[in-house]
Amino acid sequence: MVIEDYILTAYLITLSILFFYGMHGFFLVYLYNKFKDVKYEPKGRFEELPKVCIQLPTFNEALVVDRLIDAVCKIDYPKDKMEIQVLDDSTDETQDVLKKIVEEKKKLGFNINYYHRDNRQGFKAGALKEGLEKTDAEFIAIFDADFIPNSDFLNRTIHYFTDPKIGMVQTRWEHLNAEYSILTRAQALALDGHFVMEQQVRNKAGFFINFNGTAGIWRKACIYDAGNWQPDTLTEDLDLSYRAQLKGWKFVFLNDFTSPSELPIEINALKNQQFRWTKGAIETSKKILPLVWKSSIPLKLKLYSTFHLTMNIVFPLIVLAGLLNVPLVYVKNTGNYDEYFAFMSIFTLAFISSFLMYMYSQKDVYPDWKRRIYLFPVFMAGSMGFALNNTRAVIEGLFNKKSEFVRTPKFRIETSTDNPHPKRKKYAVTKISPMIMLELLFAIWALFGIGLAAYYSEIAAIPFLSMYFLGYGVIAVMSIKHALESKK
């Protein structure tokens, strides 16, 4: 076998796996239309409202914690039935800010308590677990510091628990600052695809979904029955979600009720967030998949759960496809491979599949969806550009390299015209990662491929290589730019 054959074989295997995961969009669109008339309504209403504990895990977030607590205290629910736990692991002035706010709210009659830990043992999972032991509430709502819950959050979610089988209710994230920049717009598109299509459709079709770490409410008995919060993965929410559903608990996703939140405005903060989510998902898949296949759930749930939990394996394959696409331009023009390349055109269906999924997510919730979906090519290029960052996360997850839970800094950006807080640099990511040089090298490699494709008049290869070039190049340049700006 000559080198050209090895390249073609490796590329075919890579694209075949990417094609398998990429066709998921068609499946979701089919299920979306099949179950679009399904509506989740509470089976009843509590005659006497139960006690709810709202947990607010925080870590060095002085710029936004007052906004969070103010919003929580505006939730329309009897004060004697609502407990607020501020679970703070902060090491900076956030401690003093929170103590002052908590004392002010106490004077107004709120049952709010401040708990500070001198260590970050177990990170967020550890804080939530310790807080759980300090409350007698039957239900536990959780909000991260970058959220602003709506005043009717509890009234819209609590009554689903009149069904004793319901263990968790998740609300859809809304984006306060989606129009702030092209970066936040691309994030909003990605998250809408996850919530509107993946979460909503999976839930309606009877597949497992996951708690998204915030903007949801749990039955405490469900948390305990599933084995409580465990800190051995970076996605404690995904981990607990699967353990709970394997125990037979049912989840509800509310697509028509949202919880507003702030999107990261800096590329390096977003990289850290994506790294944590990707690595944690790999860790969780290694932990949970054996439990899935040992369980008595139906085969279709086992198969789809396996698909769901292994989706992040695509990132190394995206990197490999980009590397191989350049020599492939040369290979195509050095041998008799016409039938092979004609067959490979079928892989464009995966691109169409992804486009349809995100288009439906925009149509479902936005009247101006046509304007928003124009950003899809930018989103795809960005996804390719993030592949190196997320591939490192996949490798670390597979090889059990442990790392800390790195919070995603927010700067109180609520509209497209807001300016970052003067103290932005205190929380911003200022370190220029060595990964940026690798991203620049990959961008140069893709640019070389574009030149090679132009030389051989392989016009069909240019759009694909251009997305790699723009993805790696723009993300690398933005990473350097945002890091330098944060140092000023």
Q: What is the pLDDT of residues 293-304, one digit of tens each?
A: 999 999 999 999
Q: What does the pLDDT look like over 108-157, one tens digit per residue?
A: 999 999 999 998 999 999 999 999 999 999 999 999 999 999 999 999 99
Q: Is residue 99 within 8 Å of residue 62, measured between CB atoms? A: no
CA 282 to each of CA 17, 233, 468: distance values in angstroms, whole numbers, following the listed order: 17, 9, 24
Residue percentage of the chain with pLDDT more than 90: 82
Task: Give the pLDDT of residue 418.
Answer: 66
Backbone angles phi, psi at 414, to 5 degrees: -115, -20
Cβ burial of 131 (10 Å; 0-12, 13-18, 19+) is buried
Environment class of residue 153 by beta-carbon count within 10 Å: exposed (0-12), middle (13-18) or buried (19+)?
A: buried
Enzyme catalytic residues: 89, 237
Of 228, 227, 170, 226, which Cα lies nearest the Cα of 202?
170
- Binned at pLDDT 50, 70 and 90, residue 340 comes out as confident
pLDDT of residue 295: 98
pLDDT band with cut points at 50, 70 and 90 for residue 428: low
Per-residue confidence (pLDDT) for residue 488, from 0 to 100: 63
pLDDT in tens, 183-219: 999 999 999 999 999 999 999 999 999 999 999 999 9
Position 422 scores a pLDDT of 53
Q: Which has the minimum average pLDDT: 102-106, 343-347, 464-468?
A: 343-347
Measured at the CA of 186, the angle between CA 183 and CA 190, to 5 degrees, comes to: 140
Q: What is the mean pLDDT of residues 398-422?
A: 78
**Mean pLDDT, residues 466-484 taken together:** 93
pLDDT of residue 243: 98
- In the prediction, which pLDDT does 402 show? 87
* pLDDT at 85 exceeding the cut of 70: yes
404 class by beta-carbon count within 10 Å (0-12 exposed, 13-18 middle, 19+ buried): exposed
Q: What is the mean pLDDT of residues 225-252?
A: 97
What HEC string does 217-230 produce?
EEEHHHHHHCCCCC
| Mean pLDDT, range 341-350, rounded to an integer | 78
Q: For residue 397, give the H/E element and its range.
A: helix 387-398
Across 176-185, 224-233, 415-424, which has the greatest mean pLDDT? 224-233
Containing 418, the helix (H) or strand (E) segment is none
pLDDT at 430: 65
pLDDT at 473 over 70: yes
| Range name among 259-273, 375-389, 398-412, 422-436 with the lowest pLDDT average | 422-436
